[in-house]
Amino acid sequence: MRNFIRDKTLLFFSSLSMGIICIVAIFGPLFIPDPLEQDLINSMLPPFSQGHILGTDPLGRDIFSRIVSGARVSLIVSLLGMIGSLTVGTIMGLVSGARNKWIAWGSDRLIDIQMAFPYILLAIVIVSATTASIPVLIFLMVLAGWASAARVIRSIVLSERPKDYIKAASLVGANQKRILVKYIGPTLVPAIFTIAPLQASAMIVMEATLSFLGLGVQPPTPSWGGMLLEGKVYLSQAWWLTTIPGIAIAITCASLIGIGEGLSIKLRGDRRRRIDPSKTENLGSEGSAKS
């Protein structure tokens, strides 16, 4: 009973919190004052000031509005990044599970290389070669994220492949493609749903990091990472310029991770075979000889 509550609680509260963030991100910008509007007279106001619940930045822009619009940017970018990363990751994971030794080997090495490479370095190189813009940012995120998704997919494919039901499928005539798509494919779905939120949360951090380094979303478009960058120099005087976007990032990440963990606990629980006395195969011993 205790387990039930614990499993559901995490998922419930994380989903609730993420839901709120999404609603704010989608509808928020309709209700707030212009995040770009500068008001030099009212600059550097701390939170709970008149008219500015979260304060203002050095240019007098309302922090609350910037957080809300930044949310939209961060979430959309991360979502696109996550989808791209999962797509490439799943494909490469399936390729790594291929029968052909060389194809699988090649794919594995690609995964290894990508995981070993520091993505910030890569980001700097690519941004200098092109420009810092949102499409490039999304490209970087996919580049950074696909390998860990591929690894998970690959391990599932490799562990399912030797199982009897796959062998049974080839016995009735299924070719490799059919086996991957019809037999192994559906087993990947729960895993994908579990990695997705974790990838998304990594993307949020990645976006913030890259924007903080000036390689991501460019000003004046508000983004959480960008806000961190701008507030950095005022750290001792105006703590709220960095802390508030930092908290936003943290809460969003935690919610996403919570959803991922909650889902994986739930899936594991469904698969975990608890002693169900009504299924006698679990009780004592049933005549089961060696093979």
Partner 1 sequence: MKPILEASSVKKLFKGRGRSLDVMALNDIDFLIYPGEVIGIVGESGSGKSTLSRILVGIEKATEGQVLHNGEAVESPSDWQKLRLDIQYIFQDPFLSLAPHMTVGQSIRDGLDIREEGTPLERNNRVARTLELVGLKASDANSYPAVFSGGQKQRICLARALILNPKVIICDEIVSGLDVSVQAQILNLLVELNQKNGVGLVFVSHDLRVVKYLCQRIIVMHQGLIVEANTTEELFTNPKHEYTQHLLSSVPAGLSIAGV
Partner 2 sequence: MTKLLSIKNLTISLEGRPNTSPIVQNLNLEVNAGEVLGIVGESGSGKSLTGLSILNMLPKGVYISGGQILADSKDITKSEKKNLRAYRGELFSIVFQDPGAALNPSRTIGKLLSDVARAHEKSSKGIIRKKSIEILKDVGFPNPEERLKSFPFQLSGGLRQRVAIAMALINRPKILIADEPTTSLDVSVQKGILDLIRKRTIEDGIGCIFISHDLGVIAEVADRVIIMYSGQVVEEGPMASVLTNPKHPYTRGLIASAPSMKSSLAKPLRPIPGSLPPVGRTPSGCAFQDRCPEKALGNCNAANPTWSNDSSNQSHRWLCHSEVKK
As measured in angstroms, the least distance from the Cβ of 3 to partner 2 is 13
Interface with partner 2: number of residues (CB under 8 A): 14
Cα Dmax for the chain = 85
Closest to partner 1 by CB, 50 vs 288, is 288
The angle subtended at Cα 224 by Cα 233 and Cα 36, nearest 5°, is 85
Can you tell me the distance from the alpha carbon of 34 to that of 31, in angstroms, rounded to the nearest whole number?
A: 9
As measured in angstroms, the least distance from the Cβ of 82 to partner 1 is 24
**Which range of residues in 20-28, 72-80, 129-137, 177-185 is near partner 1 by CB under 8 A?**
177-185
Tell me the per-residue interface mask from 229 to 268 with partner 1, x by CB under 8 A, - otherwise. Answer: ----------------------------------------
As measured in angstroms, the least distance from the Cβ of 54 to partner 2 is 52
187 binds partner 1 (CB under 8 A): yes
CA-based torsion, 107, 108, 111, 117: positive or negative: negative
Q: Quick one: what does residue 277 bind among partner 2, partner 1, none, with the CB cut-off 5 to 8 Å set by partner type?
A: partner 2
290 binds partner 2 (CB under 8 A): yes
Q: Which value, to the nearest 10 degrees, does the dihedral of the CA atoms of residues 71, 75, 77, 79 take? A: 180
- Token pair 């989903």 is found at 15
Q: How far apart are the first and last CA of the chain?
A: 38
User: In the beta sheet, which residues pair with residue 52?
Assistant: 49
From residue 89, give the alpha-carbon distance in Å to each of 114, 121, 144, 176, 182.
12, 21, 11, 19, 19
285 binds partner 1 (CB under 8 A): no
281 binds partner 2 (CB under 8 A): yes
Closest to partner 1 by CB, 183 vs 240, is 183
Can you tell me the distance from the alpha carbon of 92 to that of 87, in angstroms, rounded to the nearest whole number?
A: 9
Q: Which of 230, 201, 237 is nearest to 213 (CA)?
A: 230
Which positions from 236 through 275 interact with partner 2, judged by CB under 8 A? 275
Closest to partner 1 by CB, 100 vs 187, is 187
278 binds partner 2 (CB under 8 A): yes
284 binds partner 1 (CB under 8 A): no
**Omega within 30 of 0 (cis) for the link into 220:** yes
291 binds partner 1 (CB under 8 A): yes
109 binds partner 2 (CB under 8 A): no
CB 256 within 8 A of CB 200: yes
Closest to partner 1 by CB, 50 vs 175, is 175
Reading the block at residue 211, the tokens are: 């924007």
Q: Quick one: what does residue 168 bind among partner 1, partner 2, none, with the CB cut-off 5 to 8 Å set by partner type?
A: partner 1
270 binds partner 1 (CB under 8 A): no
Closest to partner 2 by CB, 247 vs 283, is 283
CB 32 within 8 A of CB 65: yes
Q: Which amino acid is at 121?
A: L
Residues forming contacts to partner 2 in the complex (CB under 8 A) are 275, 277-281, 283-290
Residues forming contacts to partner 1 in the complex (CB under 8 A) are 163-165, 167-174, 178, 182-183, 186-187, 281, 286-291
